[in-house]
Chain A
Amino acid sequence: MNPETMLETILREAQDKIREAALSAPRRIEVKAPRERLVELLAWLKQAFGLAHLGTISGVDLGESFEVLYHLSNADGTVTVRVQAPRSEPRIPSVCSVIPGAILYERELQDMFGLVVENIPDPRPLLLADDWPAGEYPLRKDWTFERPAEVIPGGK
C-alpha cells in the first residue's frame, strides 16, 4: 500500500479518531489527534496497516503546551501521530497496551518533560541521576543550566 492510499484510508475510516491528516513529505504522513483517542488510534493503525514499529516518541516544548509525537513505521512509510497536552495539565495516556516497546520512550518523556503518562506499567525514572531534584525537567525550554563556579580544592 503506498502512502497516498494509506492517507485516504485514514481520512475515510478513522475520521472520528483524528483531527487532521496530511502527507508532509514523500513517505511521511502527519496525523493530528486528540489525546483522549490516542490509544484507540494507534490500535487501529496497527491493525489496519501493520504499523507496529514505534521508532521513538519525541516531546517538544511549545511554551503553552507540550507536543508529543509518535513515529510509527512500516515498509511503506512513516506515520507521525501528534497529540498535545497543555502545560497546566501535562497528562498523556500510555500506549504500552498497544505497543509494549514504548515503555522506555514513555519513561524518558516523564523524566525529561515532566509529562505524566497515565497507566504506564513502570513509572520509575529512567535516565536522570538518583539524586536529581524533583520538579526539574531538563528538556523544558524554561529549564536552563548554569555551570557552577569552579572551585580548586586547596586553591585560593
Chain B
Amino acid sequence: MEFKVQLGPQHPALHEPISIRMTLDGEVIRDADLRLGYNHRGIEKLAESRTFIQNLYLTERICGICSFSHQTCYTQGVEKLMELVPAKRGLYIRTLVCELERVHSHLLWLGVAGQEAGFESFFMYTWRDREVVMDILDWISGNRVHYSMNTFGGVRRDIDEMQRKKILDTLGLLKQRTDYYLNLAASEPTFVGRLAGVGKLSRQQAIDLCAVGPTLRASGVPMDVRKDDPYAVYAEIPFEVATADSCDVLGRAVVRVKELIQSYNMIEFLLKNLPEGPFKVKAPRKVKPNEVYSRYEAPRGENVHYIKSNGSDKPERLKVRAPTLANYPATIAMLKNGFIADIPLIFAAIDPCICCAERLVQLEDARGGSSRVLSFSQLRAMANERAKNTDFTKREIAWPF
C-alpha cells in the first residue's frame, strides 16, 4: 500500500520552511514533491524600488550563511554595468572574505552531516572550529554574519599588518584540524558506512537536472565558476577543482573537505601576496542602461544574479537564483527509491536539513483518492476505533511477564 507523508513546512529542526510530500511504499520513498515559497520575501520586487547602494545591503540579507556570496555576486555585476575597474587590494580582500566564508560554511555542513549520520562528536569538533573562522571574519569586518564588506569599486575596510599576522597564525590550527577530520572521515568505518551509497545521483542525472556546486562535483563533473568563469582574483590564485566519482553523500563530504584544504591554501596565498595601494575606487551613482549576467561560486554552488539597469540609480530588474533552488530537482531524484531514514542525510547533503516528521499527517485514501488532514487526537481515535473492530487472533497468547 502506498501512502503519503508530509514533512514541514514548519518544524523545529528545519532551518528553512519547506514542505516535502512523499509517496511511500513501506520504508521506501517512491516519489517526492516539494512545495516552496514559505519564505518568499519578494526581494526581487523590492530591489526595483531601491537604489544600487541600498541593494548592496538588501542582497546581503538574502541568506544568513552565504550572505557574502550574494552581495559579491551583485557587486560584481553592478561594477560591470558601471564599467568600473575595482582596486586590486580591494579585490584581494574580497576574495579573502569569500574563501573564509566558504570555510565557515563547509565546516558548518560537515558538522550537520556528522550529526545526521549519528556522529555527534564530529558535530561538536567542526562547530568549535567554525567559531575560529567566525572570529577571523569578525576581526576583518566587525561582524560575524553580515560582513557588509563590499562596495562598488572595492571593499569598505582595509586589513592591517597585525590582522594579517593573526589570521596566518590561526590558519595553521585550522589546517591541522581539517587534516585530522580528513583522516577521521576516511578511517572511521561507521561514518563511511553510513554515508556511502546514500542519495545516488548519476553523472548524467546531475548534468540534466542542472545541479550545482559540491552536489554536481561529487558526481564527477568538474564545474566550478572560479575556474570556468574567473571573477575577482581567482585567475591569479593556484587552486584545484575538487571532485569525487562516488555520486553519493560520501562523495559530497569528500568534495567539501578537499575544498576546505584548497581554501586554506588560497587564504594563505592571498594574505602573503596582498598588494599595496588603495582598497577602493570611487563609483558613480547612476548606471547606464545595460544588463549583466553575474556568476559566483558560493559554498553551495553556482550563484547567479541577472541585473538590468535603465539609466537611473535603481535597477530595472534584479533576478537572483540561489544555488539551493538549482539543487532541488536533483534532490528529488536522490530521494527516489531511498529509505525514509536517509532523508535527513540526503537533504543535509545539499545543505538544508530535515530531521523528523511533524505531528500532522495528510492521509490519502488509496481507493477513493480523497485526502484530509487529521490531528494527532483524531488519528488516535481512529486507531482505537479500528482496534475495537479488529479480530486479534493472537489475543489469547499470554504476556510472559
Contact = CB atoms under 8 A, between A and B. Distances in A.
Contact of A58 (B208, B210, B317, B330): B317
Contacts, number: 83
Interface stretch (A9-17, A123-131, A148-156): A123-131
B80 interface: yes
A78 B295 contact: yes
Contacts of A145: 42, 45
Contacts of B295: 55, 73, 78
B319 interface: yes
Interface residues of B, number: 32
A100 B223 CA distance: 18
A60 B317 CA distance: 7
B344 interface: no
B41 to A, nearest CB: 11
A54 B210 contact: yes
A23 interface: no
B184 to A, nearest CB: 34
A61 B152 CA distance: 27
Nearest to B216: A53
B36 A127 contact: yes
B292 A53 contact: no
B293 A71 contact: yes
Contact of A103 (B42, B293, B329): B329
Nearest to A129: B37
Contacts of A28: 293
B293 A53 contact: no
A102 interface: yes
B308 interface: yes
A58 B130 CA distance: 36
Contact of B207 (A27, A53, A76, A126): A53
A27 B229 contact: yes
Nearest to A80: B293
Nearest to A112: B44
Interface in B280-339: 292-293, 295, 302, 304, 306, 308, 316-317, 319, 321, 325-326, 328-330
B80 A25 contact: yes
A127 B306 contact: no
Interface string B17-56: 0000000000000000000110010101100000000000
B257 interface: no
A71 B304 contact: yes
B205 to A, nearest CB: 9
A53 B210 contact: yes
B189 to A, nearest CB: 35
A138 interface: yes
A93 interface: no
Contact of B209 (A55, A56, A73, A101): A101
Interface in B358-401: none
A53 B37 contact: no
A99 B223 CA distance: 17
Contact of A128 (B40, B44, B293): B40
Point out which of A74, A75, A104, A129 has the most chain B C-beta atoms below 10 A from its C-beta.
Answer: A104
Nearest to B318: A58
A42 interface: no
A129 B40 CA distance: 9
Contacts of B37: 125-129
Interface string B224-253: 000111000000000000000000000000
A69 interface: yes
A104 B329 contact: yes
Contacts of B229: 27, 73, 77-78
B140 interface: no
B103 interface: no
Given A52-B210, A71-B306, A138-B45, 6 more contacts: A25-B80, A56-B326, A58-B306, A60-B308, A138-B42, A139-B45
19 contacts: A25-B80, A52-B207, A53-B207, A55-B293, A56-B319, A59-B319, A60-B316, A60-B317, A77-B229, A78-B295, A99-B208, A99-B210, A101-B209, A101-B210, A101-B330, A104-B329, A126-B36, A128-B40, A139-B45
The 10 closest A-B pairs by CB, nearest first: A101-B210, A56-B321, A127-B37, A58-B319, A101-B209, A58-B306, A55-B304, A75-B228, A100-B208, A54-B210
